[in-house]
Amino acid sequence: MWKKWRQHRKDRQRARREREKEIRRSFHNDPEAACAAYYLFNTRSLGRWRSFDRDMIRRAVEFDYLNWPRKIAADVQGKDMLDVGCGTGLHAIGFLVVGVKSYTGMDPLLEMDSDLGYNMRKQTSSRNNRPQEHFGWTAAEIQRRLPRVRLVPGTFEQVAPDKTFDVAVLHNVTEHLLHIEEVFKGVWRRLRPDGACVFNHHNYYSWNGHHQPPKFVDEISADDPEQRKFLDWNHLDLEAETAEVISKELNRIRLDELRALSEKYFTIEDWKETPSDSRRGGGRLTDEIRRRFPQYSDREFTTQNVLCRARKRAVPLDQ
């Protein structure tokens, strides 16, 4: 009898481990797995049921707002988190799923009374052309229904002056910051001692670093004069009028400049440069392009994005 009972317990434990593996593997694409993941990752959260909303989680999966939280789940679980440049605020739901203690998102362009969001599963070449769809809940409603979420339509000044955080996250924001050092300094001030900063940076000097069509090789239209302005690194040598349009949205910071600025305020623990794949221009670099832009290295041409994990310095390097 005891032997059968022990075997039954082992079988149940094995089945539970397999189920947990499947949840961790698929929850960003599977609405039901995402709901299960919420309870799996929030076991230590008091009152976790108060920030559980099945319908909202399912909708966030449909819009693909759990993929980025899944990638950095280990960095934010159990932490008070600040999301700098949170956009429409929909990543808040994904970060709750992976187990943040609290989520504060801030963005000067955040519209609290709008339920429009970018459907990341349907994104097109230009960010401006991504389809905006009705998510079903406004930012104000998300904040009201999920007690661990706070959304701030502004900058650091609009966040409570004495509020600090365990970790700050910037997702494809650093390339847009025209006053990037001010933002890094603001992040440094808002982090607790030994706090962490995690950011993903889209490199301007990559094949599609211009953020304009074509974003992918299979979207190239040889007859489109607008595309030719940006195609195959033409964005590095734009005419003044076109360059002005980009300069309002992108800071053109170079990889070494970004790293040096990061090291001023943080101690870098992981700096991962991911090369462009074939769909994003990998393999299109030629000797002619190298000769045309001798000031840039192959590393700058071929790095698609940087994922940086860093720890707050006690004092910035220049102080």
Residue 51 lies in a domain: yes
Range of the domain at 58: 47-312
Residue 40 lies in a domain: no
| Ordered per-residue pLDDT tens for the chain, 319 residues | 666 666 556 656 676 678 788 899 999 999 999 999 999 999 877 777 889 999 999 999 999 999 999 999 999 999 999 999 999 999 999 999 999 999 999 999 999 999 999 998 886 544 445 678 999 999 999 999 999 999 999 999 999 989 999 999 999 999 999 999 999 999 999 999 999 999 999 999 999 999 999 999 999 998 999 999 999 999 999 876 677 778 889 999 999 999 999 999 999 999 999 999 999 999 999 999 999 999 999 999 999 999 999 999 999 998 6
Query: Assign residue 200 a region: left if phi > 0, alpha if psi is -120 to 50, beta otherwise?
Result: beta
- For residues 319 and 316, what is the distance between their CA atoms, to the nearest angstrom? 6
Of 132, 179, 127, the C-alpha closest to 156 is 179
- List the beta bridge partners of residue 118: 132
- List the beta bridge partners of residue 46: none
Residue 33 lies in a domain: no
Torsion, CA 53, CA 161, CA 175, CA 94, rounded to 10: -10
Residue 159 lies in a domain: yes
* Pairing, β 80-84 against β 165-171: parallel
Looking at the whole model, is its pTM more than 0.85?
Answer: yes
Secondary structure element (H or E) that encloses residue 144, with its range: helix 139-145
Domain count within the chain: 1
Strands (E), the chain: 80-84, 102-106, 116-118, 132-134, 149-152, 165-171, 191-202, 266-275, 303-312
Of 100, 57, 108, the C-alpha closest to 82 is 100
CATH of the domain at 262: 3.40.50.150
Per the CB < 8 A criterion, the answer to whether 64 and 119 are in contact is yes
Residue 99 lies in a domain: yes
Residue 23 lies in a domain: no
Residue 73 lies in a domain: yes
Residue 29 lies in a domain: no
- For residues 169 and 160, what is the distance between their CA atoms, to the nearest angstrom? 18
